[in-house]
Structure 1
Amino acid sequence: MNASHYLLSFVTLYFMKKTMHHKTGMLPKRIILVRHGESHGNLDTTAYTTTPDHRIDLTAEGLSQARLAGSHLRSVIASSASNWKVYFYVSPYARTRSTLREIGRSFSKKRVIGVREECRIREQDFGNFQERERMEVIKEQRQRFGRFYYRFPQGESAADVFDRVSSFLESLWRDIDMNRLNHDPSNDLNLIIVSHGLASRVFLMKWFKWTVAQFELLNNPGNCECRVMQLGSGGEYSLAVHHTDEELIKWGLSSDMIADQKWRAHACKGAWNDQCSWYLDGFFDDLADSEDDDNNNDDDNFDKDETNSLSIHSRYT
């Protein structure tokens, strides 16, 4: 290789590193999912029989929970840096808008670079006005059918919510990649998504590639409970950077899921966790460790097939 080729390789590598640094610098340090505070529907389910779900607002306790959540979020975000900003996404429902308003009391204008109402992170649609006795029967059916696939009459399944949350995630990444959030890379960016219990669970399911069976293990977040996905040292997001094992167990994560979160806390961006059982072992039986093993298995299978053929031939001649 001559000098010009060396120079070209060096320049190419330099700009690749600069681009990678730029992209990493644009990534949010945290993506935080927050469930709304206690609503009148949480307190009394008969509220759904006369009031549309999207209009049900917070109780006095829910307002208090939201204010405390704002204080907690600020302390989490400000604990590791002085230069930080927040950007909010919020479900259009009354209870999430009210939760955001109370959370916002803990942040000044100079810290908030934007907010967007996002319909795709709204609550699961359980149908229109919800008669109490009928909903009890329907929810019992859902338990037998499976929470992820059961579609409420005139409403949605969790699978339907997964589809729209997946679409939101694609838009979220475009916002980050194209810097539609007007983020200065010298500041830590924190995205706060104020949404609902099921929407938060399917968001995590999509992000971490959890299976339907793993989704069924998850518990709903409490009112104003937070799930902090934080950027690890290698560029992957993980719940284990901020949260303890005890919290992850409480949320319903299995031991394999928790081990994967711990791996992500230090994994390099784009790395493959071959120690995570559900990535391969949950879908295949006895995959060969190497192509040599695979070829040997093919030879063994060929020998077995030849023996079987001879046996069949001798049986009928």
Structure 2
Amino acid sequence: MGSNRILPKRIILVRHGESQGNLDNAAYTTTADHRIPLTAAGVRQAREAGAEIRRIVAWSEEDWRVYFYVSPYARTRATLSEIGRSFSRREIAGVREECRIREQDFGNFQEEKKMQADKKKRQRFGRFFFRFPEGESAADVYDRVTSFLESLWRDIDMNRINRCGISNFNIVIVSHGVTSRVFLMKWFRWTVEQFERLHNLTNCQVRVMQLGAGGEYSLAIHHSDEEMKGWGLSQEMITDQKMRATAKKSDWIDDCPWHLNDFFQHLRESDEADCLEEDQQDSLNLIGDRSIDCS
């Protein structure tokens, strides 16, 4: 671990702007997915996202920088180009194209009717494990995002990207809907069941993971309960995000239900029995107190 490592203040996930494929699924039948361009609306969305990201990172007068990772697809690169209009050269610490955060692979040239049928099958089979013919499942995306995260941590650990050594250093990842959800799943150790709850980001929507006082990243610092609920997070997941906003790394214990009780039924039953026993004891204590009062 780097002796002078400074953790990024924020890691911001951004989905690309509206693409021609979002507007018309038939675009994928004649154009390879990685070449699908932004629409005029997508360009506007990307510029607005750049202004929003600037407001988020430049909220105080302290010195700050942004470093970008971008998927190699045409629509993400174009989105980054428009986002970049909100920043000066001095404010951009660097940029790296990263193939591992590309879109989920749906096959080469897609047949529209067949793709619609496959997506219906995915709903029945499960969005995480269903693999598109000649393409990927979300589980496959998870594996390469895991590899990317390992590299990202090495970049942070060895101060390869924050060479200025400033505290208000921000990483912006310009990617895709499924990839961003998988990134959050991996980071926060969400289960497959919890992933299935999540809604896709809309075009150019952002998710801000901000560093809490104790050294944990949390969505709850920048985003409200209502926002997170709208993304598909359960109340347990929202509570976990709030805990992370103030938790110290040295005190962090994986005691969330999906880390323990969901896997061991007997522990849950034991907890319920313990709670019942405590309630009964409290009742007996209350009766005893009343008896003393009466005498």
Q: TM above 0.5, one fold?
A: yes
Q: Which residue of 1 aligns with 2:180?
A: 200
User: Structure 1: 5+ residue runs without aligned partners?
Assistant: 1-17, 294-317
d(CA) in 2 for partners of 1:274, 1:166: 20
- Which residue does 1:160 correspond to in 2? 140
8 Å contact from structure 2 (residues 9, 167) kept in 1: no
Q: Which residue of 2 aligns with 1:278?
A: 258
Provide the residue aligned with 2:77 in structure 1.
97
Deviation at 1:278, TM superposition (A): 1.2
Secondary structure at the aligned position of 1:114 is classed as strand
The answer to whether 1:53 aligns with 2:18 is no
Aligned-pair CA distance for 1:56: 0.2
Alpha-carbon deviation of 1:272? 2.9
1:47-104 residue CA offsets vs partner (Å, 9 max, x unmatched): 0000000000100000000000000000000013420001000000000000000000
3-state SS, counterpart of residue 197 of structure 2: coil
- The 5 Å alignment of 1:288-307 reads none
The amino acid of 1:278's aligned partner reads W
What is the correspondence of 1:32-181 to structure 2 with a 5 Å cutoff?
32-181=12-161
Q: Distance in 1 between matches of 2:215 and 2:21?
A: 40
Q: Which amino acid aligns with 1:206?
A: K
How much identity, in percent, do the aligned residues show? 67
Normalised by the length of structure 1, the TM-score is: 0.82
Provide the C-alpha distance between the structure 2 equivalents of 1:54 and 1:278, rounded to a whole number of angstroms.
Answer: 36
Post-superposition shift, 1:265? 0.1
- Bigger CA radius of gyration: 1
CA RMSD of aligned residues (A): 1.9
List structure 1 runs of 4+ shifted beyond 4 angstroms: none
Q: For residues 145 and 272 of structure 1, what CA distance do their matches in structure 2 show?
A: 35
SS of corresponding position for 1:287: helix
CA distance in 2, matches of 1:228, 1:274: 22
| SS at 2:60 equivalent | coil
Q: Distance in 2 between matches of 1:150 and 1:270?
A: 38
- List per-residue Cα deviations over 1:116-174 (Å, max 9, x = no partner): 00000000000111111111111111111100000000000000000000000000000
Segments of 5+ residues of structure 2 without an aligned counterpart are: 275-295
Whether the 8 Å contact between 2:35 and 2:75 is mirrored in structure 1 is yes
Whose RCO is larger (CA < 8 A, sep 6+)?
2
Q: Is the 8 A contact 2:8 2:167 kept in 1?
A: no
TM-score by length of 2: 0.88
